Structure 1
Amino acid sequence: MTERLAGQRILIVEDEVILAWALQDMLTSYGCQVVGPAAGVAEALDLIGREGIDAAVLDVNLNREKCYPVADALVRRGLPFVFSTAYSADSIEEGYRHHPSVQKPHSAPELADALSALLPMPASLPFPTEAALAAAGIGLWSFHRKRDALRLDAGAQSLLGMPEGPTTLATLLARVHEEDQAGLRAGLRAACAETIARDVRFRLVTPAGPRALVMRGAAGAEGNGASGAIFPLPEV
């Protein structure tokens, strides 16, 4: 799944110079283009405003300030990010805990997995274009099991009525019929361990009534999650 990082422009927000250099080396080793590093909120906001970025790694504690204004700016632009903290995930302010985080000191594979789960599949992969899939009523998704991170393309967002940007399985389950929530959760987690595609059927609760959908997917090559397609259940 880390092939998704190649060519991606990743903003680093980290006030410790040595750690920032280490992050830069980690990301460039996966083919990323690093933006920054930025050591504070003002510098990070400036880079977001004038540099094209695809995702970000945010140190929660930046000297005497927190990174949350940067997180808010990224959310407004629909850009994914990962928090980096020396403390547990519980130390992150409650309103931001649904975003993925990695605990320092983190390894290169750990950070790469966290970012990869938030990024779309490379356009070079032999899949139809996103526009063609959306026109056919098909969306693409990827799920990172350990981080509960769910990434949806525009087609999947439309089918599920979800906003742009990264989300979580818990957020999706809140929109699913209560009788189908346990089955969808179990099915997605089972797909993370299987190389043969698994279908999970569920009903989405909408103002017009329940809508039957299918999520089809299988485990990724690195075993940390699953990816696949979502489409309406054909009427019979």
Structure 2
Amino acid sequence: MATILVVDDELGIRALLSEILSDEGHSVELAENAAQARAIRERVRPDLVLLDIWMPDVDGITLLKEWGASSLLTMPVIMMSGHGTIDTAVEATKVGAIAFLEKPITLQKLLRAVEQALAKPAARAAGANHHNALAPARVEIGLAIEGAVSGVAPMLPPVPLVLGPQPEQLFELDRPLREARDAFEKSYFEFHLAKENGSMTRVAEKTGLERTHLYRKLKQLGVDLSRNKRGAGGN
């Protein structure tokens, strides 16, 4: 899988994108500013960069131009912004970005943009001439995973459950309906995550949920996804 550098000054967004991309089997590097991005780009030579436009030190467009002028734009770059305009998107693609994602970012369109970017071999050699015709596309982004960008999941009361891929669970029924329902749903999803070795794609298929809804539900229930991460070779 690919090595992806995520550059964003917001901790919650870095954490969210890292979680999603790691679950897809990618190796993820994180930078909160241009200085860190330069150092990581030199050290690991990423296959793809997700670059925020508005950052406090050096903005993403300036960094993109810098990489292009220095022949360092040897990887595809997807720009991200919560305050972008059509002019901003056009400028970004003119100086070397192959796509523009508008925040808040949905899971489905993020993964589609990443897949398309990594599938373009020409984009990897764009650095020598950042005005080449890469057929950049503006990717429209709609509703985000609710609450995810804050990095804070709702706290639920402790639930005495038998964890792991058990076919049956014991539940404490002498409690409010909402708590009992949350306990069941958490156990249900933990069972399927363990059974499918942490593959969100297969769990979504098994449970009949769209992946964005599934991520939102797991965060709401406080399910620990790190315990069920699949190996790099999984689907």
More contact order relative to length (CA 8 Å, sep ≥ 6)? 2
Question: Based on CA coordinates, which of the two structures has the bigger radius of gyration?
Answer: 2
Indicate the structure with greater helix content.
2
Q: What's the TM-score bracket when you normalise by the shorter of the two chains?
A: 0.3 to 0.5
Per residue, is there more strand in 1 or in 2?
1
TM normalised by structure 2 equals: 0.47
Q: What TM-score results when the alignment is normalised by the length of structure 1?
A: 0.47
